[in-house]
Amino acid sequence: MNKKIISRFLALSSVGGGAFLTGVYVEKRKNCSQENGGDIIYSKNNLVAKPGLPVFGTVSAATPMVTDSKDNTVNFAGRVSEIMKYGFPGLDNIRSYSDYVLSYDRRNRVAHWTFEHLTPQSVEFNDKVDRSKCEFKPDESIHPYFRSLNSDYKGSGYDRGHLAAAGNHRSHQIHVNQTFYLTNMAPQVGAGFNRNSWNRLESYVRKLARKSKNVYVCTGPLYLPRKEADGKSYVKYEVIGANSVAVPTHFYKIVVCETLDDQLELESYVMPNQKIDDDVPLKAFLNFNHTLFTMMNYKKGKNIEEELTKEAIPIENLPQHFLWMHVKGGTKVSNVVDFAKKSIDSKEFRSVVWSGSGGGVTKTISCAEIMKRDSEAELHQITRLCYRKVEEYWEPQLEGLEQIVATRQIPCVHILLSLDKLDENITGLEI
């Protein structure tokens, strides 16, 4: 009797194990193509689009770029570095989409800020782009606990108001589709604000883009204090829906234009989230900041950047012999990942450190994630976030003004992947 039970158990185990191994083989074949006499070659064209997974909890790609099979002109590579040319306002929960970048506020369920790069070409009318095909939907790269949902807005009396305007992203249907993620929405008063004054401001920004070389737009919510009867100031705001989505008291929009003669022009607006009379001109909401307008009398000069070097990687007890991959904004991910995988597979190296800064941070994370996903061996990981100094020189355009040197701290990420076990006492160790 016992022999029969054991035989049946072994038979069932063999069938289950065989099915599992067959499934693994089939899935691997989906992402490969055969060339050169039957050798298996990795093919990025067969890569299934999935939400990006952050290596650490603050920076990730929300969704990988998906190219339309009928139009292969879309290229996400390097776009983040173009959009964020002048640096990140902050690094809290960065999400990079195909044509804009945002920082998500998990507490309030709206963005801290969105950043866009507009050109005359990007705001041109495009009859291939149809806004009616777009759907409001949550960004699944955000943990469900911190998401806002369409149900939060339903019956609230507020519009799902765009921060990065849909009309700013007309060069491809994918671009406009991604402006409808709820991470890009905030509760806005509808009639008199979102559909009127705020819409006029968005149209005005596009008008600036049509006559400028480049326009950079930073948009976000504000929660401003109000003085009450007791003489004290309080920050109070409404929340809506089951997820307590915050209703901002105001919104800001900062617009930096690079003119055709390479000058910088800046305008900043602060608008209350309330019904505004159509007769009130946009200039009534201009935020006249003396420091900002003074900068119009300066022209951007040279940059002196602290070099990112192999010797300065801030990971303790690094292996003596490792491959260092310095990823930049213009780096082609598939090429560098291929090179690193071959170096590891050939046993020339047993560990690799991926490093990147500024616009290269997102690509650095992507390289490490792809390598982890494709590796058949177990990889041990340590991640470090740090900063490097950049000095920007601004040259005066008027007599009597002095040269300005602005120091910025640019975010850097270093990710160690090792085939060998690492010291368990090192902070940030992942397996």
Give the Cα separation of 114 and 162 in Å (integer): 10
CA proximity to 368, closest of 347, 349, 354: 354
Give the Cα separation of 337 and 44 in Å (integer): 11
Give the Cα separation of 248 and 220 in Å (integer): 9
Q: Is 194 annotated as a binding residue?
A: yes
| DSSP three-state, residue 33 | strand
Quote the DSSP letter at residue 190.
I
CA proximity to 98, closest of 169, 21, 22, 191: 169
Burial 368-393 (b: 16+ CB within 10 A, else e): bbbbbeeeeeebbbbbbbbebebebe
- DSSP calls for 191-242: IIIITTHHHHHHHHHHHHHHTSSEEEEEEEEE---EE-TTS-EE----EETT
Give the Cα separation of 233 and 351 in Å (integer): 55
Torsion of CA 49, 51, 55, 58, to 10 degrees: 140
CB 253 within 8 A of CB 162: no
The percent helix, strand, coil of the chain (3-state, each to 5) is 30, 30, 40
162 tagged catalytic: yes
Give the Cα separation of 342 and 339 in Å (integer): 5
Give the Cα separation of 343 and 286 in Å (integer): 55
Quote the DSSP letter at residue 48.
P
Which residue among 162, 169, 172, 414 is the active-site one?
162
Q: Are strands 226-227 and 250-258 parallel, antiparallel or unpaired?
A: unpaired
Q: Are strands 233-234 and 239-240 parallel, antiparallel or unpaired?
A: unpaired
Sign of CA dihedral 208, 212, 213, 218: negative
| DSSP three-state, residue 16 | helix
Give the Cα separation of 334 and 34 in Å (integer): 17
Question: Where in the sequence numbering do the catalytic residues fall?
Answer: 162
Binding residues for Mg(2+): 194
